[in-house]
Structure 1
Amino acid sequence: MTEAKLRQGAALELWQALVREAADRHGQALAEAQEAYLVFVLLRYQREHGLLARTQALEWLHAQQQIGQQRADALRDVGDRCLLIAGLFPGLARRRRVSADYFIDLGRGAYAEVADSGRSATADLFAQLAAGYLGLVGTLRAMRPAPPDLQWA
């Protein structure tokens, strides 16, 4: 996508185009609900300054102490943040001396818990997101530029 294209359009359209291009590069088409949710997450967190400062395991433990919709929302947030970290900032895992799989497992588990405790429509969406978590992470990773030594290979 050229720089001129990036300067045009609403944020929603730009994120949607980037997600679709990344899914194509990743070689795995996302279901419509997965694509829409991923765009929603990117929009929601595009100006989040504390994303990388939080300890997700502690956030997950805090979510476990909540009840009802507060619990579901807190778990959703853990799943969303782990998704962004695993997909867009995998180097954070190395700096914290954990594997990227740590964030994938924690995030996928958080989405599965939302699915288990949610209403029918919400449960179905989060079950689909949990099942396709690796594909979502792969799509986000495909949005990142290739390391300099691999760009011309």
Structure 2
Amino acid sequence: MDDPLLQEQTPTEYFKDLIDAALARQQLRANELTAYYLVNLLCRFMRPDGRIPFADDTHEPLALRLGRALESGGLEQRARLRNVGDFSLFMSGFFSDSFRRRTIDVDYYKSMGEYAYGSLSRRDEDAFCEVFAELARKFVGFTDVLSDVSERTAMASNADLLRLYEKWLRTGSARDGQRLVDRGIVPNSSVGSRFVQ
């Protein structure tokens, strides 16, 4: 007897369902090819060895990686720019909460990613120039989509909920407030961020 809760899905199908649902929840309209690009991005980052693609470059500052990409030419430039854009988008979407404990914040990754994708969008001979243009134009929105996917696929602990509540207290973000409500916690909007609850 088949268990209806267990279904066979390829990683591509799994991530497509998650991306489509996240786009709907975030109310972000995306070209079908751009949505599929996001699916493939997640598939590229899902590796059995747990390594992040192009991790050998991760110890080099992103600005230097972007500079090297711009100095190179042809296919190498395209590959390097794409790596900077993809890495920035993935890190901003999946690990944005970890940036609050670092000297470099999520805006740095946003700037680098937007610039890399924007540079790729100006290459008319590239079949993906429209995809890269949309990724550059809606970088923050796509970051929210990947954050949504990250939250839906991660196990939420009490510590995660506390961090989310503290973040909501600091920022007053409607999105974070709704995430708390979805988890059964009603944020008290009458209390300002300077008060401890």
Larger RCO (CA within 8 A; separation ≥ 6): 1
Aligned residues: 149
- Counterpart for residue 60 of structure 1: 66
Pair 1:118–1:66, CA change in 2 (3 A): farther
**Is 1:137 equivalent to 2:143 in the alignment?**
yes
* Runs of 4+ residues deviating >4 angstroms: none
Question: Structure 2 length normalisation: TM-score?
Answer: 0.67
**Is the alpha carbon distance of 1:73 and 1:120 closer, same or farther for their aligned partners in structure 2, counting shifts above 3 Å?**
closer
Report the CA distance between 1:36 and its aligned residue. 0.5
Q: In the TM superposition, what is the alpha-carbon distance from 1:44 to its structure 2 partner?
A: 1.2
Aligned residues: CA RMSD: 2.2
User: SS of the residue aligned with 1:121?
Assistant: coil
Matched residue, 2:191: none
What is the aligned partner in structure 1 of residue 112 from structure 2?
A: 106
Q: Is the deviation greater in 96-105 or in 36-45?
A: 96-105
Indicate the structure with greater helix content. 1
Stretch moving more, 26-35 or 50-59: 50-59
Instruction: Give the whole-Å Cα distance in 2 for the aligned partners of 1:49 and 1:70.
Output: 22
Compared CA separation, residues 143 and 131, structure 1 to 2 (3 A)? same
Structure 1 position 120, deviation (Å) = 5.1
* Residue identity matched to 1:33: L
CA distance in 1, matches of 2:112, 2:86: 10
In structure 2, distance between residues paired with 1:108 and 1:144? 21
| Counterpart amino acid of residue 152 in structure 1 | G
How high is the TM-score relative to the length of structure 1? 0.85
Distance 1:68 1:43, change over 3 A: same
Larger Rg: 2
Q: Tell me, in whole angstroms, the C-alpha distance in 2 between the residues paired with 1:138 and 1:107.
A: 14
* 5+ residue gaps, structure 1: none
**1:1-150 mapped onto 2 (5 Å cutoff):** 4-5=5-6, 8-47=8-47, 49-50=51-52, 54=58, 55-119=61-125, 121-145=127-151, 147-149=160-162, 150=180
Calculate percent identity across the aligned residue pairs: 27
Query: C-alpha deviations, 1:48-102, integer Å up to 9, x for none?
Result: 6145771322221221221011101100110000000000111342333122111
